[in-house]
Structure 1
Amino acid sequence: MSKSHTISLIQGDGIGPEVTNATRQIIEATGVKINWEICEAGAQVFKKGLATGVPKETIDSITRNKIALKGPLETPVGHGEKSANVTLRKMFETYGNIRPIREFPGVATPFSGRNVDFVIVRENVEDLYAGIEHMQTPSVAQCLKLISRPGCEKIIRLAFEFAHSEGRKLVHCATKANIMKATEGMMKRTFEEIAKEYPEIEAQHIIVDNCAHQLVKMPEIFDVIVTTNMNGDILSDLGSALIGGLGFAPGANIGDNFAIFEAVHGSAPKYAGQNKINPTAVLLSGVMMLRHIGEFEAADLIEQALVVTLGIDKTYTRDVIGDAGSVSTTTFTKAIIDNFGRTHPEWKHREYKPIDMPKIKDNQKAIEIKSRSVGGIDLFIETHNDLEEMGKRLTDLASATNMKLKLISNRGVKVYPNDHGTKPDLTDCFRCRFIATDSNREVTDDDIMQLVSLVKKDYRWMHIEKLNIFDGVAAYSKAHGED
């Protein structure tokens, strides 16, 4: 007899109530005892004036129950408040987003019969999705890409442990470390270090654009892909297209203490209330949830009934075959329940095991260094002044300090001194790199304040980045064209 579970249920926006209710009916039909605590988040909460989109009652429910099943939440595009989806992931430190991609019998795609069966393990709380953005000037915006060593270690260990839990033998790490050598490079270096602790699993690094290329060309070569936040978001949508679309793409947000299960797709408001949406993605998220809470038999029962419904009975919603011949959400839901106990002869059963959640040091100082110094600063300035005039003026101002102007860059390209002869287009946001006049002398905070106090008389400045040197190695990137 199944034990009772209390689970927070966020029905979501748009099509959310339809797909979560279908999932709830199917799970309850297995006999698993679940007490659902209905919670709010998303559009209706934003309309009440709560900027986070997540009320305290919802936070309290998830805090108590540790587990949530969530429908899609509406996120304003290009304006408005932050995504409530991202807020929930970050508030509960669900640092791993696990997104299975597996082809289904009976769902015809250009890749049918290719044995597409891989899982994307996406870092879930860092990267550009930290959401730290500023308008540097009226015409230049910036977004900070934050990648931490502990964050990399947690997601990489989770990927290897997940591979263990499903008996998978290959983990790829997809990064853009060839361009972003500090941030994406940290993910690559951490992967190569951690992989040595899992010799029974093959580990390969792959550049993310090549990963996207190979996913379309040879998707069957992949088993587990671990990657940074934005890369994972993009690759998992690509992956869902290989197997029939977002209607077949489940997901699990996993952390040390909490887990939130949700589909990859959005709220699709134009289809809301029409009883024609495919609930499979949320249903399979519910299947992942059942395995997470140890209800493996119920999870297998639902999965097999779904595969029979699709692959043998050829029962489809409109996203698979269009309006002609398709069934409603409620009819599809009933068909799955009616198929409990049936199995599909071609559906390979996996021996699922609970994930052994990785443990790392709870220590912000994850990387020990022997020495550190500051070799200068990047000072970001807003101006429309002539470039040559600005360069000469900043050189003169710095001459009264212990620093000197090395270069000025615009959008990452060195534009002063212009010793390469090209003339790239300029914005009104310039990075001015000042370095120590004496390379044997460290730049101090007093040196920095003195320089800024002189520069601010002539120019509007936005922010400062110290040019750190850790263990004798420059911990900052060069501008394109910099010596």
Structure 2
Amino acid sequence: MDAVPQTPRITVTAIPGDGIGPEVMRATQRILAAAGARIDWEEAEAGAAAFRKGIATGCPQETLDSIERTGVALKGPLETALGYGEKSANVTLRKFFELYGNIRPVRELPGIRTPFSGRGIDLVIVRENVEDLYAGIEYLQTPSVAQCLKLMSEPGCERILRLAYALARAEGRTRLACSTKANIMKTTEGLMKRVFERIAPEYPDIAPSHLIIDNCAHQLVIAPEQFELIVTSNMNGDIISDLAAGLVGGLGIAPSSNVGDRVAMFEAVHGSAPQIAGKGLANPTALLLSAVMLLRHVGDFAAAERVEQAVFVTLQEGRNLTGDIAPKGEGAGTDAFTDQVIANLGRGSDVPSRAYHAIDMSKWTDRTWHRRADSRELVGLDVFIESEREPAALAAGLEAAAAGTAFALKMLSNRGTQVWPPTGGHSFRVDHFQCRFVLRGNRAGNYGPEIAELMRRVSAEHQWMHVEKLQRFDGADAFAKAQGES
């Protein structure tokens, strides 16, 4: 009888993390070794210990070098220590390695009873992982008005959508739902919807659908079994992936992966649980199932199924479960649970593993992505001004400043609602006005000197924060109108 070919040995960066992280990492490594996974571990540090050393990102260079070298990381929970550092170490890792795709499987597990048990929940949420509000570009515009830039790009949307389609094919899924807030944020969230509609015909074997994100959250609670795969933007995905995990038992059993073109990082999504750290009570299931995703990523499907089925058998039989998932008063410790999973290696549960295949991911080039418009026109300027004046008085001053320039004042808005000329409504105002100037005549050309002259005049009397060009690309307005603006 021919021997089953072994997968090559690989080296994986192990980041134990904080709190219960080292305990669940040790448990996971023990189980993978017993299952015959051919992994060598390279341990690295990130999180609170790094912050305490004065490393503002929470990620030492040695850790980044290790992940760059191995291309694969398994990470325990990290905390952002209070009083140390300014950035989340998790976000640092995602951005440094451009881990643009966050994959969160949500599956009903045997023995885990929830109000949704028996519904057949088996879906995946694919979340764009580096753009959107999580780009972290924030400003105080006035002492009392804050701004966060929501940046979504066409290639950023396209690559997460193509990853979702590739994952659907790899897992034999036939339906893909794209969920956005395109009904309100028509330019940013609408971009993802438009790209989805453009590329969907390239995947005729996958049935596409679109739904608004708040309806998606509603439908996840009403009928979660209707979904196979949901793809969405960063903020939306952060919220609904935790919601979905709650349907099947919570974050303590929720695995995830973060993938990019060169690196993949697998992590438990739960917190560091410092209240039980070092007591031998932690549940390693989330990190262990994340390691199963890692094994499939590197092509060791046999070891992945052995570990996954051993976990399923352990949960199904309910022996030596940790306290968070055991019947009240019957909880075992981390070591006992780990020993039980190891004892169940080679057994099969009543819940079959899916027939997984390698994900055929598109590779994106390193060049700066640019799409040239066939035509470009300048329509006007939005100048954002800090002022405590009444709208009519502010408008009078700005009209005087614009007199004799290429621009005329069209309207003022406050928090997105037009307040001048008055529309007859009632609006609470803060000291942050969007002041829209439009060109009086021809719109072709750069208008650099004319813009500079307008801003010189505005600056003489008003405190402004930033300026946005109002442009038209290929004949279509590339800016939103305020509520009430004609």
Q: TM-score range by the shorter chain?
A: over 0.9
Q: Counterpart of 2:202 in 1: which secondary structure?
A: coil
Equivalences for 1:305-344 in 2 at 5 Å?
A: 305-321=310-326, 324-344=329-349
The answer to whether structure 1 residue 427 and structure 2 residue 440 are counterparts is no
Aligned to 1:123: 128
3-state SS of paired residue (2:257):
strand
Q: CA deviation at 1:77?
A: 8.3
Q: 1:411 maps to what in 2? A: 415
Q: 1:277 deviation in Å?
A: 2.0
Q: Report the equivalent of 1:457.
A: 460
The TM-score, its normalising length taken from structure 2, stands at 0.96
Q: What is the alpha-carbon distance in structure 1 between the residues aligned to residue 61 and residue 425 of structure 2?
A: 56
For 1:158-173, list aligned pairs within 5 A: 158-173=163-178
Partner deviation per Cα, 1:120-170 (whole Å, 9 max, x = no partner): 011111111101111111101111111011111100000000001010000
Q: How many residues align?
A: 481
1:301-350 CA-to-partner distances (Å, cap 9, x unmatched) read: 11011011011244422222465111112211111011111111x21222
Deviation at 1:461, TM superposition (A): 0.8
Quote the residue 1:467 is aligned against: 470
Deviations 1:178-235 (A, max 9, x none): 0011110010011111111000110101111000000000000000101001111111
- Contact preservation (8 Å) 1:106, 1:314: no
Residues 1:190 and 2:201 are matched in the alignment? no
CA contact 1:3–1:32 (8 Å) conserved in 2:
no
Residue 3 of structure 1 and its aligned partner are, at CA, apart by: 2.5
Q: Secondary structure at the match of 1:468?
A: strand
Aligned to 2:373: 369
Q: Is the 8 A contact 2:320 2:336 kept in 1?
A: no
**Aligned with 2:295: secondary structure?**
helix
Alpha-carbon distance, 1:439 to partner: 5.2
CA distance in structure 2 between the partners assigned to 1:301 and 1:338 by the alignment: 11
1:86 equivalent to 2:85? Answer no
C-alpha distance in structure 2 between counterparts of 1:474 and 1:2, whole Å: 54
Shift of 1:274: 2.4
The correspondence of residues 83-232 of structure 1 with structure 2, limited to 5 A, is: 83-232=88-237
> Which SS does the other structure have where 1:135 is aligned?
strand
Q: Give the equivalent residue in structure 2 for 1:396.
A: 400
Question: Residue 73 in 1 paired to residue 60 in 2?
Answer: no
CA offset digits 1:445-472 (Å, max 9, x no partner):
2111111111111111111111111011
Distance in 2, matches of 1:185 and 1:361, equals: 25
**Alignment correspondent of 1:350:** 354
8 Å contact from structure 1 (residues 263, 281) kept in 2: yes
Deviations 1:337-375 (A, max 9, x none): 11111111x212221111001245655445342101211
| Structure 2 CA distance for aligned equivalents of residues 80 and 462 of structure 1 | 28
Matching of residue 480 in structure 1 with residue 486 in structure 2: no
Query: Do the aligned partners of residues 392 and 328 (structure 1) sit closer, same or farther apart at CA in structure 2, a change above 3 Å counting?
Result: same
Q: What is the SS of the residue equivalent to 2:275?
A: helix
Please give the secondary structure, in 1, of the residue aligned with 2:50.
Answer: helix
1:8 equivalent in alignment to 2:31: no
Question: Quick one: distance in 1 between partners of 2:255 and 2:369?
Answer: 35
Relative to structure 1, the CA distance from residue 64 to residue 443 in structure 2 (aligned partners, 3 Å threshold; closer, same or farther) is: closer
Give unmatched runs, 5+ long, in structure 1: none
Contact 2:54 2:84 in 1 (8 A): no
Asked if the contact 1:436/1:443 (under 8 Å) is kept, the reply is no
**Counterpart in the other structure of 1:282:** 287
CA distance in structure 2 between the aligned counterparts of 1:151 and 1:45, rounded to whole angstroms:
31
Alignment identity in percent? 54
Read off the aligned partner of 1:429 and give its amino acid letter.
Answer: H
Q: Which amino acid aligns with 2:448?
A: D
- Measured after TM superposition, the shift of residue 2 of structure 1 is 4.3
Q: Which moved more, 1:352-361 or 1:152-161?
A: 352-361
1:430: Cα distance to partner? 1.0
Taking the aligned partners of 1:364 and 1:307, their CA distance within structure 2 comes to 45
Aligned-partner SS, 1:389: helix
Contact 1:20 1:282 in 2 (8 A): yes
1:403 partner amino acid: F
2:384 paired residue among 380, 385, 407: 380
Q: Determine the C-alpha separation between the residues in 2 that align with 1:47 and 1:355.
A: 39
Structure 1: distance between partners of 2:245 and 2:410: 48
Normalising by the residue count of structure 1, what TM-score does the alignment of the two structures yield? 0.96
Contact 2:127 2:237 in 1 (8 A): yes
1:54 equivalent among 59, 83, 104: 59
Secondary structure at the aligned position of 1:269 is classed as coil
Q: Are 2:40 and 1:40 equivalent residues in the alignment?
A: no
What are the superposed Cα offsets for residues 51-109 of structure 1, whole Å, 9 maximum, x if unpaired?
Answer: 11111101110111000001111136899612110110111011111100000111100
Q: Is the 8 A contact 1:7 1:35 kept in 2?
A: yes
| CA drift at 1:247 | 0.9
Cα distance in 2, alignment partners of residues 411 and 435 from structure 1: 20
Distance 1:349 1:33, change over 3 A: closer
Secondary structure in 2 matching 1:271: coil
Matched residues in 1 for 2:443 and 2:165: separation?
45
- Partner amino acid, structure 2, of 1:99: R
Contact 1:408 1:417 in 2 (8 A): yes
- State whether residues 7 and 38 of structure 2, in contact with CA within 8 Å, keep that contact through their aligned partners in structure 1: yes
Q: 1:394 to 1:443 in 2, by over 3 A?
A: farther
How far is 1:442 from its partner?
Answer: 5.2
Q: Give the equivalent residue in structure 2 for 1:301.
A: 306
CA distance in 2, matches of 1:34, 1:440: 62
- Cα distance in 1 between the residues matched to 2:154 and 2:339: 47
| Cα 1:440/1:341, change in 2 over 3 Å | closer
